[in-house]
Amino acid sequence: MTGKRVLQTTPVSLNDKALIEWEPRTEAFQVRLRTKGGKYLRANGGTPPWRNSVTHDVPNRTATRNWILWSVDVVELMTVEDSVMCRLSPTSGL
């Protein structure tokens, strides 16, 4: 396995050298997430410890080329104010 394992975390600062930004590259109804260095976010289905993990590298084998295609679901981000308003609905009796 040549890829480096990816973990999603909150950066300590925006100047963090470990910070990686992903550029979306659309392909039909899916997207490839590419770093500025040309590596792609890739799903893994291999044997442990790599099973069900995500790495980033250059897909150099035909068998793994589709492992870099991702389906994206758009979700709504709730703010703290939205969460409070949901709890204080008119039916809550307050």
Pairing of strands 40-43, 54-57: antiparallel
pLDDT tens for 51-61 read: 778 888 887 77
d(C-alpha 58, C-alpha 71), whole Å: 19
pTM comes to 0.60
pLDDT at 94: 46
Which residues have CB under 8 Å from 24's CB, separation 6+? 31, 32, 33, 34
In the chain, how many domains are there? 1
Full domain range(s) for residue 17:
4-92
What is the pLDDT at residue 50? 66
What per-residue confidence (pLDDT) applies to 54? 82
Q: What is the pLDDT along the chain (94 residues), one digit of tens a residue?
A: 456 777 777 777 777 776 778 898 998 889 998 988 888 888 877 777 767 788 888 877 777 777 888 888 888 877 777 666 666 556 544 4
Residue with tokens 């976010």: 41
